[in-house]
Amino acid sequence: MRVRNKPWAPELIEAHPDLIVEKGQEFKGKWHERFAKKQPLFIEVGTGKGQFIINMAKKYPQYNFIGIEIQKTVIAIALKNALEEQLPNLQFLYADGAELTDYFEDHEVSKVFLNFSDPWPKTRHEKRRLTFKSFLKVYEQILIEHGVVEFKTDNQGLFEYSLSSLNNYGMHFDGVWLDLHHSEENDENVETEYEHKFSAKGQPIYKVRAHF
């Protein structure tokens, strides 16, 4: 997701240290201090403008959520949207999602969400895909025992690659959906911005839930 720089973005981020952290190494192993309650921690890698993570936090107050985004303007928009909700179980991390072990202690996270990640279709870019084995190793390290990864995409090629990658890593599949919006799983589904856009055009949405 690329958007034009917003001149107000840095000022908004700086004005809300209670809701957003830049980098965040100082909270490694103690993210619970950022929330009103100590609860299971769910993270979204590449949170975009925040539609998914905000609505998840609203729907599931019994969990704590962190939306991670590397683009300053994008995460500032997510922060702006979140300010309207005042959710005590939501935080944002302005950082590179490829460096999760710098920000989270081993077994600190209960679930990882990967939503509409960049497919990096060229073979030479395989290692950049968020379901590549090196990323799965990182998720396994920061997740609790039997921790869960949920992945959604509109890209069939990336989905097929991801199923193979998760399977080869030895993960256990809890569910695979080839047309999420026409399945029972959609009853509890929370959409992302991209998901709403693509599904409105009739594009099937793919989803997998798996655990280590």
Predicted confidence band of residue 57 (pLDDT cuts 50, 70, 90):
very high
Chain segment 80-137, per-residue pLDDT in tens? 999 999 999 999 999 998 899 999 999 999 999 999 999 999 999 999 999 999 999 9
Known catalytic membership, residue 174: no
Determine if residue 179 is labeled as part of a ligand binding site.
no
Tell me, what's the pLDDT at 40? 98
The tokens for 113 are 């969400």
Q: What is the mean pLDDT of the chain?
A: 96
Chain segment 134-176, per-residue pLDDT in tens? 999 999 999 999 999 999 999 999 999 999 999 999 999 999 9
Which of 118, 174, 179, 187 is an active site residue? 118
Determine if residue 161 is labeled as part of a ligand binding site.
no
Determine if residue 195 is labeled as part of a ligand binding site.
yes
- CA distances to 33, 61, 121, 149, 152 from 52, rounded to whole Å, are 23, 14, 24, 15, 12
Predicted confidence band of residue 1 (pLDDT cuts 50, 70, 90):
low
More confident: 7 or 134? 134
For the beta sheet containing 206-211, the strands, ordered from the edge strand earlier in sequence to the opposite edge, are: 20-22, 90-94, 64-69, 41-45, 109-115, 143-153, 206-211, 172-177
* CATH H superfamily, domain 9-211: Vaccinia Virus protein VP39 (3.40.50.150)
Q: Where are the beta strands (DSSP E) in the chain?
A: 20-22, 41-45, 64-69, 90-94, 109-115, 143-153, 172-177, 206-211
User: Where are the domains positioned within the chain?
Assistant: 9-211
Distance of alpha carbon 26 from the chain centroid: 21
